[in-house]
Structure 1
Protein backbone atom coordinates (compact mmCIF):
# COMPACT_ATOMS: atom_id res chain seq x y z
CA UNK A 1 0.00 0.00 0.00
CA UNK A 2 1.39 3.40 -0.97
CA UNK A 3 1.92 6.09 1.62
CA UNK A 4 0.03 9.36 1.34
CA UNK A 5 1.93 12.62 0.93
CA UNK A 6 1.24 13.39 4.59
CA UNK A 7 2.67 10.01 5.67
CA UNK A 8 5.76 10.47 3.48
CA UNK A 9 6.25 13.96 4.84
CA UNK A 10 5.98 12.78 8.44
CA UNK A 11 8.31 9.86 7.72
CA UNK A 12 10.93 12.27 6.31
CA UNK A 13 10.50 14.58 9.30
CA UNK A 14 11.07 11.66 11.68
CA UNK A 15 14.11 10.51 9.67
CA UNK A 16 15.62 13.97 9.95
CA UNK A 17 14.92 14.04 13.69
CA UNK A 18 16.42 10.56 14.15
CA UNK A 19 19.56 11.50 12.22
CA UNK A 20 19.91 14.79 14.06
CA UNK A 21 19.40 13.14 17.44
CA UNK A 22 22.13 10.61 16.75
CA UNK A 23 24.57 13.31 15.66
CA UNK A 24 23.66 15.74 18.45
CA UNK A 25 24.34 12.98 20.99
CA UNK A 26 27.59 11.85 19.36
CA UNK A 27 29.07 15.27 18.56
CA UNK A 28 26.98 17.84 20.39
CA UNK A 29 24.78 20.49 18.86
CA UNK A 30 27.60 22.93 18.06
CA UNK A 31 29.71 20.35 16.25
CA UNK A 32 26.85 18.98 14.14
CA UNK A 33 26.27 20.65 10.78
CA UNK A 34 23.18 20.60 8.63
CA UNK A 35 25.11 18.89 5.79
CA UNK A 36 26.00 16.13 8.29
CA UNK A 37 22.34 15.75 9.24
CA UNK A 38 21.01 15.54 5.69
CA UNK A 39 23.76 13.11 4.69
CA UNK A 40 22.94 10.89 7.65
CA UNK A 41 19.21 11.06 6.88
CA UNK A 42 19.79 10.48 3.17
CA UNK A 43 17.85 13.57 2.09
CA UNK A 44 18.58 16.97 0.57
CA UNK A 45 19.12 20.24 2.41
CA UNK A 46 15.91 21.42 0.77
CA UNK A 47 14.05 18.63 2.55
CA UNK A 48 15.56 19.70 5.86
CA UNK A 49 14.49 23.32 5.35
CA UNK A 50 11.06 22.25 4.17
CA UNK A 51 10.44 20.66 7.57
CA UNK A 52 12.51 22.87 9.88
CA UNK A 53 13.37 26.56 9.80
CA UNK A 54 16.95 25.86 10.87
CA UNK A 55 19.13 23.56 12.95
CA UNK A 56 17.86 25.13 16.17
CA UNK A 57 14.24 24.35 15.21
CA UNK A 58 15.31 20.77 14.48
CA UNK A 59 16.94 20.54 17.92
CA UNK A 60 13.75 21.86 19.52
CA UNK A 61 11.70 19.18 17.73
CA UNK A 62 14.13 16.49 18.92
CA UNK A 63 13.98 17.81 22.48
CA UNK A 64 10.18 18.04 22.47
CA UNK A 65 10.00 14.42 21.32
CA UNK A 66 12.49 13.33 24.00
CA UNK A 67 10.61 15.22 26.71
CA UNK A 68 7.32 13.69 25.57
CA UNK A 69 8.87 10.21 25.77
CA UNK A 70 10.09 10.87 29.33
CA UNK A 71 6.65 12.14 30.30
CA UNK A 72 4.90 9.15 28.72
CA UNK A 73 7.20 6.78 30.60
CA UNK A 74 6.43 8.53 33.90
CA UNK A 75 2.69 8.39 33.23
CA UNK A 76 2.86 4.72 32.25
CA UNK A 77 4.84 3.58 35.27
CA UNK A 78 3.67 5.76 38.11
CA UNK A 79 0.00 5.12 38.80
CA UNK A 80 -0.63 3.89 42.32
CA UNK A 81 -4.35 4.56 42.87
CA UNK A 82 -5.16 6.19 46.19
CA UNK A 83 -1.54 6.72 47.22
CA UNK A 84 -0.07 10.05 46.11
CA UNK A 85 3.30 9.46 47.78
CA UNK A 86 3.77 6.07 46.12
CA UNK A 87 2.75 7.55 42.78
CA UNK A 88 5.38 10.28 43.05
CA UNK A 89 8.06 7.80 44.12
CA UNK A 90 7.20 5.47 41.23
CA UNK A 91 7.34 8.53 38.98
CA UNK A 92 10.78 9.29 40.38
CA UNK A 93 12.04 5.86 39.37
CA UNK A 94 10.38 6.14 35.97
CA UNK A 95 12.04 9.54 35.42
CA UNK A 96 15.49 8.19 36.23
CA UNK A 97 14.86 5.12 34.04
CA UNK A 98 13.78 7.35 31.14
CA UNK A 99 16.75 9.69 31.59
CA UNK A 100 19.12 6.70 31.46
CA UNK A 101 18.32 6.33 27.76
CA UNK A 102 21.61 7.09 25.96
CA UNK A 103 22.04 10.75 25.10
CA UNK A 104 18.84 11.96 26.75
CA UNK A 105 20.54 13.77 29.64
CA UNK A 106 22.80 15.63 27.23
CA UNK A 107 19.91 16.65 25.00
CA UNK A 108 17.42 17.67 27.67
CA UNK A 109 19.67 19.02 30.40
CA UNK A 110 22.76 20.36 28.65
CA UNK A 111 22.32 21.19 24.97
CA UNK A 112 18.63 22.08 25.22
CA UNK A 113 19.03 24.84 27.81
CA UNK A 114 22.27 26.07 26.23
CA UNK A 115 20.81 26.39 22.73
CA UNK A 116 17.10 26.99 23.23
CA UNK A 117 17.38 28.95 26.46
CA UNK A 118 15.96 28.46 29.90
CA UNK A 119 12.50 29.87 29.10
CA UNK A 120 11.98 27.57 26.11
CA UNK A 121 13.03 24.58 28.20
CA UNK A 122 10.74 25.65 31.06
CA UNK A 123 7.84 25.75 28.61
CA UNK A 124 8.68 22.26 27.36
CA UNK A 125 9.08 20.97 30.94
CA UNK A 126 5.78 22.50 32.05
CA UNK A 127 4.00 20.64 29.25
CA UNK A 128 5.66 17.28 29.88
CA UNK A 129 7.29 15.69 32.95
CA UNK A 130 6.82 18.67 35.23
CA UNK A 131 3.07 18.55 34.57
CA UNK A 132 3.01 14.99 35.97
CA UNK A 133 5.05 16.05 38.98
CA UNK A 134 2.79 19.03 39.60
CA UNK A 135 -0.34 16.85 39.49
CA UNK A 136 1.21 14.33 41.86
CA UNK A 137 2.30 17.04 44.26
CA UNK A 138 -1.19 18.57 44.25
CA UNK A 139 -2.58 15.21 45.31
CA UNK A 140 0.10 14.70 47.96
CA UNK A 141 -0.15 18.20 49.39
CA UNK A 142 -3.95 18.15 49.31
CA UNK A 143 -3.82 15.09 51.54
CA UNK A 144 -1.64 17.14 53.88
CA UNK A 145 -3.95 20.18 53.57
CA UNK A 146 -1.50 22.37 51.62
CA UNK A 147 -2.18 21.95 47.87
CA UNK A 148 -1.69 25.62 46.96
CA UNK A 149 2.11 25.39 46.70
CA UNK A 150 2.21 22.49 44.24
CA UNK A 151 3.18 24.37 41.08
CA UNK A 152 6.12 26.25 42.61
CA UNK A 153 7.27 23.14 44.44
CA UNK A 154 7.03 21.16 41.19
CA UNK A 155 9.33 23.66 39.47
CA UNK A 156 11.86 23.45 42.32
CA UNK A 157 11.67 19.67 42.62
CA UNK A 158 11.99 19.37 38.84
CA UNK A 159 15.32 21.17 39.13
CA UNK A 160 16.38 18.72 41.84
CA UNK A 161 15.39 15.79 39.59
CA UNK A 162 17.43 17.26 36.74
CA UNK A 163 20.50 17.81 38.94
CA UNK A 164 20.20 14.24 40.17
CA UNK A 165 19.96 12.95 36.58
CA UNK A 166 23.12 14.88 35.69
CA UNK A 167 24.86 13.49 38.76
CA UNK A 168 23.81 9.94 37.88
CA UNK A 169 25.05 10.45 34.31
CA UNK A 170 28.39 11.55 35.78
CA UNK A 171 28.62 8.42 37.95
CA UNK A 172 26.75 9.23 41.17
CA UNK A 173 24.91 6.39 42.88
CA UNK A 174 21.34 6.32 41.62
CA UNK A 175 19.96 4.79 44.82
CA UNK A 176 21.43 7.64 46.85
CA UNK A 177 19.90 10.17 44.46
CA UNK A 178 16.50 8.48 44.71
CA UNK A 179 16.79 8.44 48.51
CA UNK A 180 17.58 12.16 48.53
CA UNK A 181 14.57 12.91 46.30
CA UNK A 182 12.41 10.76 48.58
CA UNK A 183 13.63 12.76 51.59
CA UNK A 184 12.72 16.01 49.81
CA UNK A 185 9.25 14.72 48.97
CA UNK A 186 8.66 13.39 52.47
CA UNK A 187 9.80 16.73 53.89
CA UNK A 188 6.94 18.46 52.09
CA UNK A 189 4.34 16.77 54.26
CA UNK A 190 6.26 16.60 57.54
Structure 2
Protein backbone atom coordinates (compact mmCIF):
# COMPACT_ATOMS: atom_id res chain seq x y z
CA UNK A 1 0.00 0.00 0.00
CA UNK A 2 2.80 2.42 0.94
CA UNK A 3 4.82 1.67 -2.22
CA UNK A 4 1.72 2.23 -4.37
CA UNK A 5 1.08 5.60 -2.73
CA UNK A 6 4.72 6.55 -3.29
CA UNK A 7 4.43 5.57 -6.94
CA UNK A 8 1.22 7.61 -7.29
CA UNK A 9 2.93 10.59 -5.68
CA UNK A 10 5.89 10.20 -8.02
CA UNK A 11 3.56 10.16 -11.03
CA UNK A 12 1.76 13.27 -9.79
CA UNK A 13 5.07 15.03 -9.14
CA UNK A 14 6.40 14.17 -12.61
CA UNK A 15 3.19 15.38 -14.26
CA UNK A 16 3.24 18.62 -12.26
CA UNK A 17 6.90 19.25 -13.12
CA UNK A 18 6.16 18.85 -16.84
CA UNK A 19 3.20 21.23 -16.62
CA UNK A 20 5.25 23.89 -14.83
CA UNK A 21 8.19 23.61 -17.23
CA UNK A 22 6.00 23.51 -20.32
CA UNK A 23 3.91 26.45 -19.21
CA UNK A 24 6.96 28.61 -18.52
CA UNK A 25 8.72 27.75 -21.78
CA UNK A 26 5.59 28.03 -23.96
CA UNK A 27 4.81 31.44 -22.42
CA UNK A 28 8.38 32.70 -22.87
CA UNK A 29 9.04 31.57 -26.43
CA UNK A 30 5.92 30.07 -27.96
CA UNK A 31 5.12 26.50 -28.89
CA UNK A 32 7.13 26.29 -32.11
CA UNK A 33 10.36 27.54 -30.53
CA UNK A 34 10.35 25.06 -27.64
CA UNK A 35 11.79 21.57 -28.18
CA UNK A 36 10.50 18.56 -26.28
CA UNK A 37 14.04 17.94 -25.03
CA UNK A 38 14.11 21.39 -23.42
CA UNK A 39 10.89 20.68 -21.58
CA UNK A 40 12.03 17.39 -20.08
CA UNK A 41 15.41 18.89 -19.13
CA UNK A 42 13.71 21.84 -17.41
CA UNK A 43 11.30 19.46 -15.65
CA UNK A 44 14.12 17.11 -14.60
CA UNK A 45 12.37 14.05 -16.04
CA UNK A 46 12.94 11.60 -18.89
CA UNK A 47 11.62 12.05 -22.42
CA UNK A 48 9.59 8.89 -21.86
CA UNK A 49 7.75 10.61 -19.01
CA UNK A 50 6.55 13.32 -21.39
CA UNK A 51 5.04 10.72 -23.71
CA UNK A 52 3.68 8.63 -20.85
CA UNK A 53 1.79 11.52 -19.25
CA UNK A 54 0.91 13.67 -22.25
CA UNK A 55 1.67 11.70 -25.42
CA UNK A 56 4.24 14.31 -26.44
CA UNK A 57 4.70 18.06 -26.66
CA UNK A 58 1.30 18.78 -28.26
CA UNK A 59 -0.52 16.86 -25.51
CA UNK A 60 1.39 18.79 -22.84
CA UNK A 61 0.52 22.06 -24.56
CA UNK A 62 -3.19 21.17 -24.53
CA UNK A 63 -3.01 20.32 -20.82
CA UNK A 64 -1.29 23.65 -20.11
CA UNK A 65 -3.97 25.47 -22.10
CA UNK A 66 -6.77 23.71 -20.20
CA UNK A 67 -5.06 24.63 -16.92
CA UNK A 68 -4.92 28.31 -17.93
CA UNK A 69 -8.57 28.27 -19.04
CA UNK A 70 -9.63 26.78 -15.69
CA UNK A 71 -7.72 29.51 -13.85
CA UNK A 72 -9.34 32.20 -15.99
CA UNK A 73 -12.82 30.88 -15.17
CA UNK A 74 -11.94 30.79 -11.47
CA UNK A 75 -11.55 34.59 -11.65
CA UNK A 76 -15.29 34.87 -12.32
CA UNK A 77 -17.16 33.35 -9.35
CA UNK A 78 -20.55 31.97 -10.37
CA UNK A 79 -22.26 33.51 -7.33
CA UNK A 80 -21.17 36.95 -8.54
CA UNK A 81 -22.68 36.40 -12.00
CA UNK A 82 -26.01 35.12 -10.68
CA UNK A 83 -26.19 37.29 -7.55
CA UNK A 84 -27.97 40.56 -6.82
CA UNK A 85 -26.84 42.47 -9.92
CA UNK A 86 -25.93 40.01 -12.69
CA UNK A 87 -25.86 42.69 -15.40
CA UNK A 88 -23.29 44.75 -13.49
CA UNK A 89 -21.27 41.56 -12.98
CA UNK A 90 -21.33 40.87 -16.73
CA UNK A 91 -20.16 44.43 -17.48
CA UNK A 92 -17.32 44.30 -14.95
CA UNK A 93 -16.45 40.80 -16.17
CA UNK A 94 -15.62 42.22 -19.61
CA UNK A 95 -12.97 44.50 -18.13
CA UNK A 96 -11.60 41.74 -15.90
CA UNK A 97 -11.34 39.30 -18.82
CA UNK A 98 -9.47 41.84 -20.96
CA UNK A 99 -7.14 42.63 -18.03
CA UNK A 100 -6.33 38.94 -17.68
CA UNK A 101 -5.77 38.65 -21.43
CA UNK A 102 -2.87 41.11 -21.08
CA UNK A 103 -0.90 38.52 -19.10
CA UNK A 104 1.91 37.12 -21.23
CA UNK A 105 1.07 33.44 -20.77
CA UNK A 106 -2.62 34.03 -21.49
CA UNK A 107 -1.74 35.95 -24.65
CA UNK A 108 0.92 33.61 -25.95
CA UNK A 109 -0.56 30.25 -24.95
CA UNK A 110 -4.34 30.71 -24.84
CA UNK A 111 -4.90 33.34 -27.50
CA UNK A 112 -2.07 33.15 -30.03
CA UNK A 113 -0.65 29.61 -30.07
CA UNK A 114 -3.63 27.49 -28.97
CA UNK A 115 -5.78 27.98 -32.10
CA UNK A 116 -2.82 27.09 -34.35
CA UNK A 117 -1.46 24.20 -32.28
CA UNK A 118 -4.76 22.54 -31.39
CA UNK A 119 -6.76 23.53 -34.47
CA UNK A 120 -9.75 25.83 -34.34
CA UNK A 121 -12.30 23.10 -33.52
CA UNK A 122 -10.48 21.73 -30.47
CA UNK A 123 -9.47 25.21 -29.30
CA UNK A 124 -13.07 26.44 -29.52
CA UNK A 125 -14.37 23.32 -27.74
CA UNK A 126 -12.04 23.95 -24.78
CA UNK A 127 -12.95 27.66 -24.73
CA UNK A 128 -16.64 26.75 -24.77
CA UNK A 129 -16.27 24.10 -22.05
CA UNK A 130 -14.74 26.63 -19.69
CA UNK A 131 -16.28 29.99 -20.46
CA UNK A 132 -19.57 29.41 -22.24
CA UNK A 133 -21.50 27.94 -19.31
CA UNK A 134 -20.38 30.77 -17.07
CA UNK A 135 -21.50 33.44 -19.56
CA UNK A 136 -24.85 31.73 -20.07
CA UNK A 137 -25.48 31.52 -16.32
CA UNK A 138 -24.89 35.26 -16.04
CA UNK A 139 -27.18 35.98 -18.98
CA UNK A 140 -29.92 33.70 -17.60
CA UNK A 141 -29.73 35.54 -14.28
CA UNK A 142 -29.85 38.96 -16.00
CA UNK A 143 -32.89 37.90 -18.07
CA UNK A 144 -34.64 36.54 -14.95
CA UNK A 145 -33.95 39.86 -13.19
CA UNK A 146 -35.41 41.66 -16.24
CA UNK A 147 -32.14 43.58 -16.64
CA UNK A 148 -31.58 42.53 -20.26
CA UNK A 149 -33.85 41.68 -23.18
CA UNK A 150 -35.38 38.22 -23.19
CA UNK A 151 -33.29 36.74 -25.99
CA UNK A 152 -32.25 33.07 -26.39
CA UNK A 153 -29.36 32.94 -23.92
CA UNK A 154 -27.65 29.95 -25.56
CA UNK A 155 -27.23 31.90 -28.80
CA UNK A 156 -26.43 35.09 -26.96
CA UNK A 157 -23.72 33.36 -24.90
CA UNK A 158 -22.11 32.05 -28.11
CA UNK A 159 -22.14 35.56 -29.59
CA UNK A 160 -20.61 37.10 -26.46
CA UNK A 161 -17.95 34.39 -26.15
CA UNK A 162 -17.00 35.02 -29.78
CA UNK A 163 -16.85 38.78 -29.20
CA UNK A 164 -14.75 38.40 -26.05
CA UNK A 165 -12.36 35.94 -27.67
CA UNK A 166 -11.88 37.96 -30.85
CA UNK A 167 -11.41 41.17 -28.85
CA UNK A 168 -8.81 39.48 -26.63
CA UNK A 169 -7.01 38.15 -29.72
CA UNK A 170 -6.95 41.65 -31.20
CA UNK A 171 -5.51 43.03 -27.95
CA UNK A 172 -2.88 40.27 -27.84
CA UNK A 173 -1.74 41.01 -31.40
CA UNK A 174 -1.85 44.82 -31.17
CA UNK A 175 1.34 46.89 -31.16
CA UNK A 176 -0.14 49.14 -28.47
CA UNK A 177 -1.92 46.64 -26.24
CA UNK A 178 -3.04 49.15 -23.63
CA UNK A 179 -4.80 51.30 -26.25
CA UNK A 180 -6.31 48.20 -27.88
CA UNK A 181 -7.52 47.07 -24.45
CA UNK A 182 -9.29 50.40 -23.86
CA UNK A 183 -10.98 50.30 -27.26
CA UNK A 184 -12.06 46.66 -26.85
CA UNK A 185 -13.52 47.33 -23.41
CA UNK A 186 -15.47 50.34 -24.71
CA UNK A 187 -16.94 48.31 -27.58
CA UNK A 188 -17.79 45.21 -25.52
CA UNK A 189 -19.47 47.22 -22.75
CA UNK A 190 -21.45 49.10 -25.41
CA UNK A 191 -22.59 45.76 -26.86
CA UNK A 192 -23.77 44.62 -23.42
CA UNK A 193 -25.47 47.95 -22.75
CA UNK A 194 -27.41 47.46 -25.99
CA UNK A 195 -29.07 44.44 -24.35
CA UNK A 196 -30.25 46.42 -21.33
CA UNK A 197 -34.00 46.77 -20.77
CA UNK A 198 -33.32 50.34 -19.59
CA UNK A 199 -32.59 51.40 -23.19
Counterpart in 1 of 2:188?
Answer: 181
Aligned residues: 188
Evaluate the alpha carbon distance shift between residue 99 and residue 118 of structure 1 in structure 2; reply closer, same or farther with a 3 A threshold: same
Deviations 1:150-169 (A, max 9, x none): 12222221122122223333
Aligned partner of residue 74 in structure 1, secondary structure: coil
Deviations 1:80-122 (A, max 9, x none): 7221211112222321232232221121112111111111122
Matches within 5 A, 1:132-147: 132-142=134-144, 143=146, 144=148, 146-147=150-151
Give, in angstroms, the shift of residue 76 of structure 1.
7.1
Evaluate the alpha carbon distance shift between residue 104 and residue 46 of structure 1 in structure 2; reply closer, same or farther with a 3 A threshold: same
Give, in angstroms, the shift of residue 146 of structure 1.
1.6
Counterpart in 2 of 1:49?
Answer: 51
Root mean square deviation of aligned Cα? 2.2
Q: Gaps spanning 5+ residues in structure 1: where?
A: none
Q: TM-score, normalised by structure 2?
A: 0.84
Q: TM-score, normalised by structure 1?
A: 0.87
Aligned partner of residue 33 in structure 2, secondary structure: coil
Q: Gaps spanning 5+ residues in structure 2: where?
A: none
Q: RCO greater where, 1 or 2, for CA within 8 Å and sep 6 or more?
A: 2
Match of 1:155 among 158, 168, 171: 158
Structure of greater Rg? 2
Could you list the structure 1 runs, at least 4 aligned residues long, displaced by more than 6 angstroms after superposition: none
Q: 1:109 & 1:90 partners in 2: Cα distance?
A: 21
